[in-house]
Structure 1
Amino acid sequence: MGSKIKRILIVDDEENTRIGLSKLLSQEGFEVCSVPNGQEALEYLKSSRVNLVISDINMPEMNGLTFLKELNRLYPSTHVIMITAYGGVESYLEAMNLGAFEYIHKPIKIEELKSVMEKIHNDAKQASSVGSM
């Protein structure tokens, strides 16, 4: 996954998902941190910058869509991939309208995630070249 994405924050209440994604992405050379909910993610982001957030939609306390809305208000340039095991068309549309870059169903296939991350890299590269004109 050759990209400018260096630091990734995983937000998911399922520990197995956090551990699995962290291991996979760390093996690919990324610096990864994970937290169990949106509130902890917002606290983490106060002191640490990330290039990408991968967040579950269905979480207790603060669901992923509420987290996404707050994340985009505070850190609008951060790319976000939403993940879910239960999502339908409505949550997909809401996530995309709130600024998610992509929406992936669980179980996550690493090749699909790599493809989305490559799209993010290309999108960021294109945006920076347009901005420099």
Structure 2
Amino acid sequence: MAQRIFVKVMGFSDVERHALNSVFRLSEQRQTIYSPWMPDAPEAPRLALIDGQSYEAQLELESPRTAGLDIIWVGPVAPASAFRAFDRPISWIEVLGAMDELYAPKDPLDFDLGFEDGASEFIEPEARDHRRVLIASASRDERLYLRAKLALADLTQADDAETGAQALELARANAYTVALVDFGLPDVNGWAFLKELTSSYPAIQHVIMTKSDASIGEHIRARLSGVDGFFNKPVHPGRLQELLQKVL
């Protein structure tokens, strides 16, 4: 059952508010929904998202209306009561991860875009032998690059697809631990393809996507769509390797 979390927002620039509104809007598509709190909202807020550099920040901290709320702080000199604090420039993906840590249903396999530690330590050797990966990209060079990175993560069982249609056919015929797919496959719409891929059976445990020049809104939408990693191309090898190690 879906739950709605009302968020009291204080401060932030117009550009930052625009990105935050994308988080609110796109969260309507999933189980944990975030909405900006207004005085006429049907429920009290549960979270205060505070711009520490705004003039009202200190007033809100001292207000009894903020007592009992979870607090996420942006800016220097975070109060001890803050659940998380972030510096500028704001990574809204990380802010969303902190919000989900508080309110989203806990999934032991959710490694939250690579920010958590320790997932790979608990995988039994027998389970490792059965890991299989789907690589989908129109670029042969990109597929070879991803294969090389998989080999460094001790993954040798991988299938290639050049198109979205081939990828979906493989996903329906095989059980994959991870899918590494390019958002820009030539024969499919990226978001429609992602929805089909994540609803395929057998279910793919983890999906990692790549895209040229992805916007912050696309990164947020991917996170809310269940994508474990969404990388701008060319993919940073260290970040991809770290993510693979955590999920595998």
> How does the TM-score come out when normalised to structure 1?
0.77
SS of the equivalent of 2:199 reads: helix
The aligned runs of 1:108-127 (5 Å cut-off) are 108-121=235-248
1:15 to 118, 129, 140: 140
**Is residue 74 from structure 1 mapped to residue 200 from structure 2 by the alignment?**
yes
Please say if residues 153 and 245 of structure 2, whose CA atoms lie closer than 8 Å, have aligned partners that are also in contact: no
Superposed counterparts of 1:1-133, under 5 Å: 4=128, 6-30=131-155, 31-75=157-201, 76-121=203-248
TM-score of the superposed pair, with normalisation by structure 2 = 0.44
| Unpaired segments ≥5 residues, structure 2 | 1-119
- Contact map agreement 2:209 2:229 (CA 8 A) in 1: yes
Between stretches 101-110 and 27-36, larger displacement belongs to: 27-36
SS in 1 for 2:141: helix
Post-superposition offset of 1:41:
0.8
- The answer (yes or no) to whether the contact 2:176–2:204 under 8 Å persists in 1 is no
Give the CA deviation at 1:74. Answer: 2.1
Counterparts of 1:19 and 1:77 in 2: how far apart (Å)? Answer: 21
Aligned equivalents of 1:82, 1:64: Cα separation in 2? 10
Q: Which is further off, 72-81 or 62-71?
A: 72-81
**Deviating more after overlay: 38-47 vs 24-33:** 24-33
Q: Could you tell me how far 1:93 is from its partner in structure 2?
A: 1.8
> Secondary structure of the equivalent of 2:185?
coil
Bigger share in helix: 1
2:143 is matched by which residue type in structure 1?
R
C-alpha separation between the residues in 2 aligned to 1:71 and 1:41?
8
Give the SS at the match of 2:217: helix
The structural deviation recorded for 1:32 is 1.6
Q: Is the 8 A contact 2:175 2:204 kept in 1?
A: no
Write the distance in 2 (CA, Å) between the matches of 1:120 and 1:52. Answer: 9
Runs (4 or more) in structure 1 with deviation over 3 Å come to 1-5
Provide the rounded CA distance (Å) in 1 between the counterparts of 2:229 and 2:205.
13
d(CA) in 2 for partners of 1:27, 1:102: 18
Separation (CA, whole Å) in 2 of partners of 1:65 and 1:40: 17
CA contact (8 A) 1:39 1:67 kept: no
Identify unmatched segments of 5+ residues in structure 1.
Answer: 122-133
CA distance in 2, matches of 1:28, 1:115: 9
Q: CA deviation at 1:59?
A: 1.9
Q: Could you tell me how far apart the structure 2 residues matched to 1:63 and 1:69 are? A: 10
